[in-house]
Amino acid sequence: MKYWLVKSEPDVYSWDQLVADGSTFWDGVRNYAARNNLRDMKVGDKLLYYHSGDEKQIVGLAEVIKESYQDPTTDEDAWVCVDVKPVKKYSKPLTLKTIKQTESLKDIALIKLMRLSVVPILPEEFAIIESMVE
């Protein structure tokens, strides 16, 4: 199992909307590095759900339920999506400010690859984040 972080503007597709929908396809990625990350996802991989924009915080945990396939929002073969479902909302969201202040997370892809909407998370980073949000 691998760990990932996916970003969404809360006014475009929020955690609460994912919960209401029950599942969704993660579409609209138009960056090759982020697309490659989607291609690498497997069923059961865990996703940290990050609200970008004004919030800048990890708000929940989701899971991949279908591996990559052609993104239905485009006819271009280069782009893929995956299906995801919510697992749990974090009782205490983890802000970007707190992440940046946490020495053990100083090399996390969220900071190093700030512009990517889909980034890998190391197992040890995931464990640290899980301990901070519970």
Q: pLDDT per residue over 76-103, tens digit each?
A: 999 999 999 999 999 999 999 999 999 9
C-alpha closest to that of 93 among 117, 45, 125, 59 = 59
- Evaluate whether 29 touches 71 at the Cβ level (below 8 Å): yes
pTM of the model: 0.96
Angle at 126 between CA 16 and CA 57, to 5 degrees: 40
CATH classification of the domain holding 61: 3.10.590.10
Asked if residue 56 has pLDDT above 90, the reply is yes
* Residue at token pair 């599942």: 23
* Residue at token pair 């490659």: 36
DSSP single-letter state for residue 66: E
For 110-127, what is each residue's pLDDT tens digit?
A: 999 999 999 999 999 999
**Structural domain harbouring 40:** 3-133
Give the pLDDT of residue 73: 95
Distance CA 71, CA 29 (A): 9
Distance CA 22, CA 24 (A): 7
Q: What total number of domains does the chain contain? A: 1
* Tokens, residue 109: 């892809």
